[in-house]
């Protein structure tokens, strides 16, 4: 395995990621995203059926209008959850419906599920506004700055910059995939992105810590930087693969066996975890090599001029 020169082929991995990110940015500009009701607002319909019904029955009826991703809750008369599987009071939160669409949906629910009494029906605004998005992005940028400072203190600044660039790489690819597939983006997507960031930085730091441990001993023996990084990656590879396979196995189970409302969340995690493992091995450490080589070239040039 040590014969594989991963660090030496870093330009190939950089090119692959650059192509995906460039295509993703182009798709974001042209097609945009499929924002859910958390971002766009929508319609709330509160119904009281004449008999207990299940969420699956309601969702199956809504699927005829491609509304199976709607938020469906069972509640009692006072708004508190009753039975986990059946109930008479059902609250549906879905995309903004025109009058004709709403009437068709209501009629289909009556014929497919049961007769009902309408308790509430209203249009609502977005729960995630522009100010909240701005604050979230600001918090993310501040966290990246703090990561750079902490890693610079514990390791060196080049490690910190490489780690943050790898995180940006992961987020851009997840965004690109959601733009390509036009999967719905809602509040759970934000939670998935933050989870991916936490996973990815942890995996990257493990490799960086091994590079730091090997650094002094390696150069005492006259080794080069590519061999150092390759050795460090392969020393931590088993741990990285075991970790990613474990979390992805669980996430696959959530994706295939979970409800419709969790599929986009699980899909974002699957893409993010896979991308985070890839970037920790093929992007973050090679970026550190590039930064170190640039620093050495500048130092040599400065010595020559002096």
Residue 17 pLDDT > 80, yes or no? Answer: yes
Which residue do the tokens 């990110």 mark? 21
Half-sphere exposure of 149 (CA within 13 A, CB side): 6
Q: What is the DSSP string of 254-280?
A: HHHHS-HHHHHHHHHHHHHHHHHHHHI
- pLDDT bucket at 82, cuts 50 / 70 / 90: very low
Q: What is the DSSP string of 7-59?
A: GGGHHHHHHHHHHHHHHHHHHHHHT--EE-HHHH-EEEEEEEEEEEEEHHHHH
Residue 304 pLDDT > 70, yes or no? Answer: no
- Which pLDDT score is estimated for 306? 58
- Which pLDDT score is estimated for 157? 86
- Which pLDDT score is estimated for 80? 42
Q: How far apart are CA 292 and CA 210, in angstroms?
A: 16
- Name which residue leads in pLDDT, 218 or 13: 13
287: CB partners within 8 A, 6+ apart: 161, 162, 165, 166
Mean of all residue pLDDT scores within the chain: 83
- Which pLDDT score is estimated for 284? 92
In the three-class reduction of DSSP (H, G, I as helix; E, B as strand; rest coil), residue 194 is classed as helix
Report the Cα–Cα distance between both ends of the chain, in Å, rounded: 44
Residue 299 pLDDT > 70, yes or no? Answer: no
- Which pLDDT score is estimated for 268? 93
124-128, 152-156, 225-229 — most confident range: 225-229
CA 253 to chain centre: 17
Give the tens place of pLDDT for each residue, 107-120: 898 888 888 888 88
Residue 77 pLDDT > 60, yes or no? Answer: no
**218 near 231, Cβ under 8 Å?**
yes
Which residue do the tokens 């809504």 mark? 62
248: CB partners within 8 A, 6+ apart: 270, 273, 274
- pLDDT bucket at 279, cuts 50 / 70 / 90: very high
Quick one: which of 31, 23, 35 has its CA closest to 190? 35
Give the tens place of pLDDT for each residue, 167-211: 999 999 999 999 999 888 887 888 888 888 888 888 888 899 898
Q: What is the DSSP string of 74-88?
A: EE-TTS----SSEEE
Quick one: which of 1, 18, 7 has its CA closest to 282? 7
Q: What count of other Cβ atoms lies within 10 Å of the Cβ of residue 179?
A: 22
- pLDDT bucket at 79, cuts 50 / 70 / 90: very low
The fraction of the chain above a pLDDT of 90, given in percent, is 24
Q: Stretch 230-235: mean pLDDT, rounded?
A: 90
Residue 76 pLDDT > 70, yes or no? Answer: no
- Which pLDDT score is estimated for 215? 81
166: CB partners within 8 A, 6+ apart: 200, 204, 279, 280, 283, 284, 287
- Which pLDDT score is estimated for 141? 83
- Which pLDDT score is estimated for 1? 47
Give the tens place of pLDDT for each residue, 22-56: 999 999 999 888 887 777 778 888 888 988 888 88
Q: What tokens were used for 181?
A: 């597939």
Residue 124 pLDDT > 80, yes or no? Answer: no
Q: How far apart are CA 271 and CA 222, in angstroms?
A: 40
**196 near 174, Cβ under 8 Å?**
yes
């Amino acid at each position: 395995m040590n014969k594989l020169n991963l660090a030496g082929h870093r330009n190939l991995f950089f090119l692959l990621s650059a192509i995906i990110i460039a295509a993703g940015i182009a798709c974001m500009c042209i097609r945009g995203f499929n924002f859910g009701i958390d971002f766009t607002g929508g319609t709330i319909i509160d119904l009281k059926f004449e008999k207990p019904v299940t969420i699956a029955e309601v969702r199956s009826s809504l699927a005829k209008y491609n509304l199976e991703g709607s938020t469906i809750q069972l509640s009692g008369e006072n708004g508190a959850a009753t039975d986990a599987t059946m109930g008479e009071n059902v609250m549906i939160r879905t995309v903004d419906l025109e009058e004709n669409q709403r009437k068709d949906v209501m009629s289909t629910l009556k014929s497919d599920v049961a007769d009902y009494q309408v308790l509430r029906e209203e249009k609502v605004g977005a729960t995630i506004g522009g100010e909240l998005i701005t604050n979230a992005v600001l918090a993310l940028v501040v966290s990246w700055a703090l990561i750079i400072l902490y890693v610079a203190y514990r390791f060196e600044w080049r490690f910190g910059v490489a780690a943050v660039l790898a995180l940006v790489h992961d987020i851009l690819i997840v965004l690109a995939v959601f733009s390509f597939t036009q999967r719905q983006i809602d509040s759970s997507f934000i939670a998935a992105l933050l989870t991916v960031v936490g996973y990815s930085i942890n995996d990257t730091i493990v490799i960086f810590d091994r590079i730091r441990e090997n650094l002094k001993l390696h150069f005492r023996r006259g080794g080069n930087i590519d061999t150092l990084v390759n050795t460090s990656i392969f020393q931590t590879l088993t741990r990285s693969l075991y970790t990613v396979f474990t979390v992805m196995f669980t996430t696959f189970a959530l994706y295939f066996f979970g409800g419709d409302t969790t599929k986009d969340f699980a899909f974002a995690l699957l893409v993010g975890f896979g991308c985070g493992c890839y970037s920790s091995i093929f992007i973050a450490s090679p970026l550190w090599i590039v930064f170190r080589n640039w620093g050495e070239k500048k130092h040599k040039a400065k010595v020559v001029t002096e």
